[in-house]
């Protein structure tokens, strides 16, 4: 690992975003190799030109070797223990070695391009500019100290090269940040897709269970309203005819009919009782909500509570599906945005309506600003879709939130009188 790749793992300066991305390994590796080649090439050029400028061969080689050794040692050290402080210290040390090399020969100024590149990676923008300015001043002053003169080329050439090198370094760093953000978004979308698939399975299970409950309820009501009533009538008629008859054989037959009708009535009562309680003991909506909260607790550690009123009526399938969708979207918002530690969900019998409340203790948000965005069509799609789905069924969605004080949403759907009457009748004792 080179100094460049090690610097990608450094703690970010204030205001910075993450700079590493799994998908940028090939680009980082290419930059590592390029950095090594640049150090070697520029050092060799510096040594050769220094010798040509009259510096002793041994002195020039030792100077070049010092630069290479410091660079390689820093790369190895940062690969084992990457840290921002260590990276900055290593860069300052490299700059000191380079200043010593420039003191030996002005031909080593070409290594300034490496320092500008590293400054763009290892330093913040402000300190990177300061460091680059100091390096440029050394590049400009070195020829004057060694030769007593300078040229426009030795001033403007390094200036343009330094701006280009520093700009390339900062631009590449920004590309890495953008790549990291894209990777984060892709990972987030992938997780959301998996969660949505799981929620779709939950919804399908809830719909199948709800359909089975509705069918059992229908059968129990039909038996109660038809066969049970008819057998009860047969029993009453047989009993009345037996009291009016004087024929022993007829009385005996009518008694048998009454007895068989009574036994059949008892059997039907057991059948209806076996069918009707299932919708109360195995409430599909409440069970699905419980599973969703248990999964959220297992995955996030969030404390969850579910409260379901005992008097909750049997809901139509479309109403259960709508409330389940609201719960899914509401919990997704809690997970993604609220930073909450606890969420409480309540399924409430509100006489003429059924209400689903979701309350969290998270950061909350500015409800006035949200409503303004909703009017402009720029608010959360999840909340807007919740509200639209409930309105289609004659219900609505209420939201209460204050920054720093959590959020509460309440979905409500009307319950018809016939629904409650059917529920009550399905639980009546057969006469």
Eight-state DSSP code of residue 287: H
Q: β-pairing, 353-360 with 396-401?
A: unpaired
Q: Which residues contact 103 (CB under 8 A, 6 or more apart)?
A: none
Q: Could you give the C-alpha distances from 248 to 239, 240, 260, 367, in angstroms and in order?
A: 14, 15, 18, 84
Q: Residue 58 in contact with residue 45, Cβ under 8 Å?
A: no
pTM: 0.38
The pLDDT of residue 307: 93
In 3D, which of 300, 290, 353 has the Cα closest to residue 327?
A: 290
Residue 210: the pLDDT is 67
Element (H, E) at 408: strand 407-414
At residue 9, the pLDDT reads: 43
Beta strand segments in 202-349, E? 303-308, 342-349
Q: What is the mean pLDDT of each run of 10 residues along the chain (431 residues)?
A: 44 38 55 75 83 84 86 79 81 85 82 79 80 82 75 68 72 74 83 79 74 74 73 83 85 86 82 58 73 87 91 81 85 85 92 92 83 57 74 90 90 71 43 44
Alpha-carbon distances of 48 from 40, 41, 64, 86, rounded to whole Å: 12, 11, 10, 32
Please report, for residues 136, 168, 171, the alpha-carbon distance to residue 164 in angstroms, rounded to integers and kept in the order given: 13, 6, 10
CA Rg value for the chain: 40
Query: Helix-strand-coil percent breakdown of the chain, rounded to 5?
Result: 75, 10, 20
Topology classification of domain 284-416: Heat Shock Protein 90 (3.30.565)
Q: Enumerate the domain spans of the chain.
A: 3-188, 226-279, 284-416
pLDDT score, position 386: 78
């Amino acid at each position: 690992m080179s100094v460049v790749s090690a610097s990608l793992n450094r703690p970010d300066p204030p205001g910075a975003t993450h700079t590493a991305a799994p998908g940028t390994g090939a680009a980082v590796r290419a930059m590592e190799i390029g950095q090594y080649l640049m150090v070697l090439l520029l050092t060799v050029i510096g040594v050769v030109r220094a010798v040509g400028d009259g510096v002793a061969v041994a002195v020039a080689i030792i100077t070049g070797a010092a630069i290479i050794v410091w660079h390689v040692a820093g790369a190895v050290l940062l690969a084992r223990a990457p840290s921002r402080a260590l990276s900055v210290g290593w860069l300052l040390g490299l700059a000191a070695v380079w200043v010593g090399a420039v003191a030996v020969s002005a031909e080593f100024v070409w290594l300034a391009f490496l320092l500008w590149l590293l400054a763009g990676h290892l330093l913040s923008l402000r300190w990177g500019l300061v460091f680059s300015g100091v390096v440029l001043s050394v590049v400009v002053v070195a020829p004057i100290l060694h030769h007593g003169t300078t040229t426009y080329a030795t001033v403007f050439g390094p200036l343009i090269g330094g701006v280009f090198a520093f700009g390339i370094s900062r631009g590449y760093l920004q590309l890495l940040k953008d790549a990291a953000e894209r990777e984060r978004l892709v990972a987030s979308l992938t997780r959301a897709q998996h969660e949505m698939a799981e929620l779709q399975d939950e919804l399908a299970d809830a719909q199948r269970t709800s359909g089975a409950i509705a069918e059992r309820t229908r059968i129990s009501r039909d038996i109660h309203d038809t066969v049970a009533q008819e057998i009860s009538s047969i029993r009453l008629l047989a009993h009345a005819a037996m009291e009016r008859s004087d024929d022993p054989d007829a009385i005996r037959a009518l008694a048998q009919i009454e007895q068989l009708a009574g036994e059949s009535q008892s059997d039907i009562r057991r059948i209806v009782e076996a069918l009707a309680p299932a919708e109360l003991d195995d409430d599909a909506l409440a069970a699905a909500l419980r599973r969703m909260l248990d999964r959220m607790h297992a995955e996030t550690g969030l404390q969850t509570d579910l409260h379901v009123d005992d008097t909750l009526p049997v809901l139509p399938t479309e109403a259960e599906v709508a409330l389940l969708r609201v719960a899914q979207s509401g919990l997704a918002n809690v997970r993604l945005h609220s930073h909450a530690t606890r969420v409480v969900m309540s399924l409430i019998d509100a006489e003429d309506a059924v209400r689903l409340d979701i309350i969290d203790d998270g950061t909350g948000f500015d409800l006035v600003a949200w409503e303004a965005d909703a009017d402009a069509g720029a608010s959360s799609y999840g909340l807007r879709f919740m509200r639209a789905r409930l309105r289609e069924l004659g219900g609505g969605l209420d939201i209460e939130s204050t920054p720093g004080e959590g959020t509460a949403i309440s979905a409500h759907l009307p319950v018809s009188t016939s629904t409650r009457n059917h529920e009550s009748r399905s639980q009546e004792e057969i006469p």
